Amino acid sequence: MNLATSDHDDFSVIAITGRLTASGAPLLRNAVGDLVESGKPRIVVDLSGTEFIDSSGLGALICGLKRARVSGGDLRIAAVPDQVLAVLRLTNLDRVLSLHPTPESAFDGR
């Protein structure tokens, strides 16, 4: 798994390529932690390059959501591929997280 962080106007994007599983989870957690600590708790996770996600990966997203919200921000997910969507549906996590078409539109209007 590879992970790249980039800053935008009023939010930051973490792009994940490859497989987001238990071994990649700490990387995501650290990336979220770094952003929150540097005062940028508005975060979009760009999943367009994510080939596979399992429940540990979802767990890392939820931990990130918690971290961001506790600091007054939010964590949103964007560009969700089909495999990831299937896993979100399986666990009902799509009832909690909303799926944004692109990272740029994730914080639109809010």
Partner 1 sequence: MTARFVLIRVLALLSVLFGANYVVWRWLDSVHWDAWWIAVPLVLAETYSLIDTFFFSLTMWRARERPAPVSPPEGTVDVLIATYNEPIDMVMTTAVAAKRIAYPHETWILDDGARPELERAAREAGVGYLTRSEDWDNKPRHAKAGNLNNALFETDGEFLLVLDADQIPDPLILHRTLGYFADDPALALVQTPQWFSNVDEADPLGSQAPLFYGPIQQGKDGWNAAFFCGSNAVLRREALMQLGIVGYVRDVTTSTKRALKVAESLIAREVKSAQDPQLASELVRLRETISTARTDIARGAPIADATFAVRTAVERASEALVARDFSAIRADLEVIAQMPIERDAEIDAVVIDEVKLDRLATAELSPLGAVEAVTGLLDALRIDRGHEAQPVQPLATISVTEDMATAMHLHALGWRSAYHHEILARGLAPEDLRTMLTQRLRWAQGTLQVMLRDNPLVKRGLSAGQRLMYFATMWSYLSGFTAVIYLAAPVCYLVFGVLPVTAWSVDFFARFLPYFIVNQLLFLVIARGMRTWRGQQYSLALLPVWIRACVTAAGNVWFGRSLSFAVTKKDGRDTRGVPWREIWPQLTAMIVLAVALCIGLVRLAVGTADGTGTLVNTVWVIYDLVVFSVIIQAARYRGPQRDSANVAAAEGAA
- Decide if 50 contacts 20 (C-beta within 8 A): yes
- Tell whether residue 21 is a contact of partner 1 (CB under 8 A): yes
- Tell whether residue 96 is a contact of partner 1 (CB under 8 A): yes
- Shortest separation between residue 91's beta carbon and partner 1, angstroms: 4
Strands 2-7 and 12-20: antiparallel
Q: What is the DSSP letter of 98?
A: P
- Tell whether residue 62 is a contact of partner 1 (CB under 8 A): yes
User: How far apart are alpha carbons 30 and 9 in whole angstroms?
Assistant: 22
Kind and range of the H or E run holding 5: strand 2-7
- Shortest separation between residue 48's beta carbon and partner 1, angstroms: 19
Q: Which of 3, 5, 19, 93 binds partner 1 (CB under 8 A)?
A: 93
- Tell whether residue 81 is a contact of partner 1 (CB under 8 A): no
